[in-house]
Chain A
Amino acid sequence: MSKKKSRKSANIEHAKPEALATLPSASVRLKPSLTLRTAALLTLMLLAGIASGFIAWRSQQASIEPAFSLQGPLNARNSCRRPPTFFAGKGFGRGVSLSTSERDLIGIAAVEFDPNSKQRSRYWQHPSWSKFGQLSSFTLDRQGDVYVIPAPRVNLADNPPALQNRLYRIEASSGEMQLALEFPVAASASARNPYAGMALSYDCDTHSLWLTSVAGSEPKRQRGKVMRIQLDPIAKIVDQLDDFDGFGLAPFNSGATLQAGAHKPSQQGLLIASARQGKIMLQALNSEGRLQGRPTELLSIAGLGPVGNDRVRKIDIGSHGELLLHGTPFNFNLAQPSAQHAAVKYRFAWNAQKNEYDFVDWVQ
């Protein structure tokens, strides 16, 4: 990158002396009026050049956003989510949940566990739920529809790399699962990077989904994307951050100002975990919920927990703004976390004195 730039600027340096060398002799030969007119033209053009350079410099300065610092604890933007109704009549109790991590089941399943034995006591799958291979992150929306993405587990037998850049929708009442969207990738998933979609999060304020993908990323080059997917009338990508390998993510509001008699958030943003490090990044959103600038580091779980090297696969924002970060080992391979590393949760709490999040503890 720097080489390319220096080569280009060397070309400009080479062109300048050539033009300058002709000026003195040319000016001597010109009539005064012509010289004056041309000099004025030249001056104007030079000024234009300087002005355009200044504008370019200013815009470059503007693109280096001032750090997006939080003004208060975060509020989740997913509290409008509703459970689906397809459970009705299936005999499940209040403890029913959806799971994509049942070792003996492919896809997604409705499961219920015995509270005493902690063993799975009941499960149900719509016939369409196991047709698309292993699935991973999922979320509900305000209508009870479920959105879910595929990801291979242990091997690629059920998850051909070419079919990983997909978002599926499970209709709230029928339970039918169908393809909702194929999202863009820098390159298809492959044996060298079998992953595409990493995590999903629903945004009540914009009735859209946020999705992270690492498809096409390479050891020394991040080519992942963070995308906002508008859900109505059809699933469609409306905003996108390129060249960032993200994992868990959560849209948030923060701070509140009274506007027209109502409390409006003074800050909107997105927390995005890095898939390459234990960092949580802070991404600003504008008042319309669109991405603004590039993400900056908010906090890190590096060195914390039983292993000290987890990535954050899921971010929960609590009712008091506390953060619960679900950690997992992740190294762009299909190695599975051992029982020793299962489900480590890292808690961070807002420190009003310092205006930042402090690490509280981790639990397993």
Chain B
Amino acid sequence: MPPPHQKRFQKRACLFALLAVLAGCEPKPAADAAQLPLPKQVLAEQQVDSAEVLQYRKILQTSQSSGALALPLAHLNSAAAAAQTLALAHPILQERLAVGSDGARARVEVLSVDKLRESDLLDASGPHAACKTSDCLRVDLYDFAGSRMLSAVVDVTAKKVLSWRAVIGQQPEIPDRLTQLAIAIARNSPEVKEALGGAAPESVEVLMANTKTALNGTRCERSQHLCVAPTFVQGNVAIWAIVDLTDLKLVGVQWTEHGQAGPLSDLAAKVPSEQSLSDAVIMEKYCERNTALARLGWRLDYMLTASDGLQISGVQFNEREVLTSAKLVDWHVSYSKREGFGYADAIGCPSFSSAAVIPFEAPKIIEIKEAERVIGFRLQQEFRSLGWPGPCNYSYRQSYDFYADGRFRPSAASIGAGCGDDGTYRPLLRIEPAGSGWALQEFSTIQTPARVAGFNAVTHERWFDADGAVDKSGARFRLLQDQSSQTLQGFDIVPGRGQFADSRGDFEYVYATAKAAAGEGSDELPTLGSCCNTDHKQGPEQFINEPAQSLDQGLVLWYVPQMKNELTPGREYCWANPVLENGVVNPKLYPCEAGPMFVPIADRKAAPASAP
């Protein structure tokens, strides 16, 4: 029997050995486990043109006014200048360049005049065969309206244009003047200043002297504009700015503290694109968390959902709870000339969502003014299909207007451009008043044994037909919250009858359902209802129970307006047209918007509902 101290020793020795074995088994952390700092990203805010951009616009305007087809390159040698002149004077160029309704031609700039590439000479019997014995140069131009590169091969000796070629989807090399402009746009932006620690250098030259600067290529996949990414390294901060050279504006900025500054070429592999930057910002800031907003007595949270659009929640006015939440569950689009043809589109986050139409930009907060006075604000989110405003691609706008006097209005707008002139849009708005004690009343002009002329109580779940009667103030419904026989607050619900901007009337179906458990819209709702029903069967009727439940324990309002599109010139509605103006293509918008205005009646004496 070993003595206790020996046993203790053996025990400890065994423990030590066991630990040695365990230590041997413990895998070493992988070399790449060291976490690099996550990049910071921002999307650019609305911008005012800098002096450099204004000057460049002036140059473009002067060139247009002079009748030149394209902005030429300066300081070329005589052969290159001759090639440029021959290319720009060629009739094919004039024929192929679009002219806008304002008379302005598509913006075209000469990017380079250079020697031929091997690929230009591959076909021995092709149009460039003469170049084997003659002096030929290649003139590359960029058509900013068509987002395409135009390349001419010019025989300088014979003074002749041998061929033209148009290429879409290729990143062209840009000339020094556009490089300088891109860097200037980046330098002047508050986003780059913030990334550089609060102050940008005074000039492009200083910036370039103080930083390692490179101009990388990048893509603006959604706008299809010509974009570049000026890249700066200052100290241990690397900055990528995405500059849109078609609109002459900054798209956004990504930066990171990357430790020891490596060669700029290492950073080229990490250049963000318009889409990657925009999706990253929107996902992180608006899809993964709520954003709090407090203005003009209103407090609320908002976030983008996976399939129910922009949701607001916890809405309070002057410390009183008004709404638990409001959101847009689906867009139904049907086409009358083709039975059963249409789409049910969800709107929501740009990735990891079931949205068919997604946001390209962050939500905006816009002041609502009346006679130069701020009377409210609008929280707005736009959603788009990638090919919008092309045919069968869609753009939707979801908004919440809040006024200092307590009014609020959730609304939805379609900005086309659907699959034809026979489209009807039906957005499904879900509005859940906060708390209980709410009573709904419906206005009627007709007196029957069951109802009075005026507001009648709605005690149980039901749906209401489109385009119901409204009272003198425009209210179709009245919503009152009572507690202990006292009215806490109340709203007249005023549908669109053509009185709101961008509206020809809501033609709304309305549904009142009892506040329900999960699966009826308090959480994310997958596709609800059919795209193409033209009656009240838009989806929310599924939540009206048999027998109808009482609404006294809380209610949910569903508001489904109907907007019929129109393409008649001068009367376009729910539509968008690509228009060439000032040399570039921009969509001309004809939105149709619908949604009910909630007008507080707390200060008025709320008329008691007439019991049937």
| Interface residues of A, Cβ cutoff 8 Å to B | 1-2, 5-6, 8-9, 12, 15-16, 19-20, 22-23, 26-27, 29-30, 34, 38, 41-42, 45-46, 48-57, 60, 104, 152, 154-157, 160-161, 190-194, 218-219, 303, 305-309, 329, 331-341, 362
Option from B17, B279, B349, B351 in Cβ contact (under 8 Å) with A42: B17
B5→A29 contact, CB < 8 A:
yes
Known: A46-B20, A49-B21. A305 touches B169 (CB 8 A): yes
Contacts of B19 in A (CB 8 A): 12, 15-16, 19, 49
A303→B13 contact, CB < 8 A:
no
* Given A26-B8, A308-B219, A333-B348, 18 new contacts (CB under 8 A): A2-B33, A12-B26, A19-B12, A22-B12, A29-B5, A30-B9, A46-B17, A50-B20, A53-B21, A53-B23, A56-B24, A57-B24, A154-B343, A155-B345, A332-B353, A333-B358, A338-B390, A340-B387
Known: A26-B8, A191-B353, A339-B387. A48 touches B21 (CB 8 A): yes
A60→B27 contact, CB < 8 A:
yes
The size class of the interface chain B forms with chain A is: 35 or more
Known: A12-B23, A154-B344. A219 touches B351 (CB 8 A): yes
> How far, in whole Å, are A307 and B28 apart by their CA atoms in the complex?
42
B33→A1 contact, CB < 8 A:
yes
A191→B354 contact, CB < 8 A:
yes
| Residue B25 at the chain A interface, CB threshold 8 Å | yes
What 1/0 mask marks residues of chain B from 343 to 361 whose CB sits below 8 Å from any chain A CB?
Answer: 1111011111111111000
Contacts of A19 in B (CB 8 A): 12-13, 15-16, 19
Which residue, of B171, B344, B387, has the highest number of chain A Cβ atoms within 10 A? B387
Which residue of chain B has its CB nearest to the CB of A52?
B24
B352→A333 contact, CB < 8 A:
yes
A335→B14 contact, CB < 8 A:
no
> How far, in whole Å, are A329 and B219 apart by their CA atoms in the complex?
14
Contacts of B307 in A (CB 8 A): 156, 191
| Residue B62 at the chain A interface, CB threshold 8 Å | no
Which residue, of A19, A20, A332, has the highest number of chain B Cβ atoms within 10 A? A19
Contacts of A337 in B (CB 8 A): 386
Which residue, of B22, B392, B526, has the highest number of chain A Cβ atoms within 10 A? B526
Known: A2-B29, A155-B343, A329-B386. A335 touches B24 (CB 8 A): no
The 7 closest A-B pairs by CB, nearest first: A53-B24, A338-B387, A49-B20, A45-B17, A306-B169, A26-B9, A19-B16
Contacts of A335 in B (CB 8 A): 355-358, 385-386
Contacts of B211 in A (CB 8 A): none
Known: A12-B19, A156-B354, A333-B355. A41 touches B273 (CB 8 A): no
What 1/0 mask marks residues of chain B from 152 to 172 whose CB sits below 8 Å from any chain A CB?
Answer: 000000000000000011010
> How far, in whole Å, are A202 and B67 apart by their CA atoms in the complex?
61
Known: A12-B22, A53-B25, A155-B345. A336 touches B351 (CB 8 A): no
Contacts of A334 in B (CB 8 A): 346, 353-356
Which residue of chain A has its CB nearest to the CB of B2?
A34
Which residue, of A50, A190, A331, A333, has the highest number of chain B Cβ atoms within 10 A? A333
Which residue of chain A has its CB nearest to the CB of B338?
A104
Which residue, of B273, B350, B386, B391, has the highest number of chain A Cβ atoms within 10 A? B386
B385→A309 contact, CB < 8 A:
no
> How far, in whole Å, are A16 and B283 apart by their CA atoms in the complex?
46
> Interface of chain B, helix or strand or loop or mixed?
loop
Which residue, of B8, B33, B356, B393, has the highest number of chain A Cβ atoms within 10 A? B356
- Give the Cβ gap from A322 to chain B, nearest Cβ, in Å: 19
> How far, in whole Å, are A160 and B387 apart by their CA atoms in the complex?
27
Option from A1, A12, A34, A218 in Cβ contact (under 8 Å) with B352: A218
| Interface residues of B, Cβ cutoff 8 Å to A | 2, 5-6, 8-10, 12-29, 33-35, 168-169, 171, 217, 219, 221, 273, 275-276, 279, 283, 288, 306-307, 330, 341, 343-346, 348-358, 385-388, 390-393, 524, 526-527, 530
Option from A2, A16, A332, A338 in Cβ contact (under 8 Å) with B351: A332
Contacts of B356 in A (CB 8 A): 154-155, 333-336
- Give the Cβ gap from A323 to chain B, nearest Cβ, in Å: 20
> How far, in whole Å, are A331 and B35 apart by their CA atoms in the complex?
25
Option from B12, B13, B221 in Cβ contact (under 8 Å) with A307: B221
A49→B17 contact, CB < 8 A:
yes
A333→B349 contact, CB < 8 A:
yes
Contacts of A54 in B (CB 8 A): 24
> How far, in whole Å, are A155 and B357 apart by their CA atoms in the complex?
10
- What are 26 sample pairs from A and B whose C-beta atoms fall under 8 A apart? A2-B29, A15-B15, A16-B16, A19-B13, A22-B8, A22-B9, A29-B5, A49-B24, A57-B28, A60-B27, A152-B354, A154-B345, A155-B345, A156-B526, A160-B526, A161-B526, A191-B354, A192-B354, A308-B169, A308-B219, A309-B219, A329-B386, A334-B355, A335-B356, A335-B357, A338-B387
